[in-house]
Amino acid sequence: GILPRYGLIIFALGIPVLSWSFLVVKDWKRPRALRYLVVVGALCISQWSLQLVNGVGFVNHVSQKRAIADYLKGEYQANPGLNILCDDCTVRVLSSIPEARFLDSSNCPVQLEPFLAYLKENAVEYLVFGRMEGIIPAAPLSELGEMETKGLVQPVIRVDSRRYSLGLYRIGKCELRNAKGG
């Protein structure tokens, strides 16, 4: 449900406890009650500031994805036959491109040459690739830097933050033999 997902269990339990504590505090002597209210206020402000930081990070994260989605939307309007390899659901939804135009990496071969053949076979023109801190990307997406060096993909948009990087790459019109370096 919604309560555990957004941390609202603590909120739902905290409101009655806070109300009860204010009723109890009114019987305390002023210095003790004031200390209690300062501690509660400091805890509320620290929690609010943490939520504010996370909220700003989330808005920035979505705006980064929107930049890629908007670019893809423009490309799709120019070429309705456009196919995109993209695992990011947010980019898919924000682009308003029909779901049938997207492929995901779950069916991709793990070796580089069969992967490139898969992209060519499915006429994939763009690759959206996200990398999160602490998560190793699946092969062959882990070799994206090598693919870029060999000219197999060209970066279109790169967005990097502290914990997440997202990139839009155009698939190069190279032959598969170029993947071997030949």
What does the pLDDT look like over 114-145, one tens digit per residue? 888 898 999 999 999 877 655 555 666 667 77
Confidence of residue 182 (pLDDT cuts 50, 70, 90): very low
Q: For residue 181, what pLDDT is reported?
A: 36
- Inform me whether the pLDDT recorded for 75 exceeds 90: yes
Average pLDDT for the chain = 81
Q: For residue 144, what pLDDT is reported?
A: 74
Cα-based torsion angle of the residue sequence 160, 132, 87, 148 in order, rounded to the nearest 10 degrees: 60
Q: For residue 140, what pLDDT is reported?
A: 67
Q: Which residue has the higher pLDDT, 6 or 105?
A: 105
In degrees and rounded to multiples of 5, residue 155 shows phi and psi of -65, 135
Ramachandran class of 96: left when φ > 0, alpha when ψ lies in -120 to 50, beta otherwise? left
Q: For residue 179, what pLDDT is reported?
A: 33
Average pLDDT over residues 5-31: 80
Q: For residue 175, what pLDDT is reported?
A: 40
39-58: per-residue pLDDT in tens?
Answer: 988 988 988 888 888 888 88
- Inform me whether the pLDDT recorded for 169 exceeds 80: yes
- Inform me whether the pLDDT recorded for 2 exceeds 50: yes
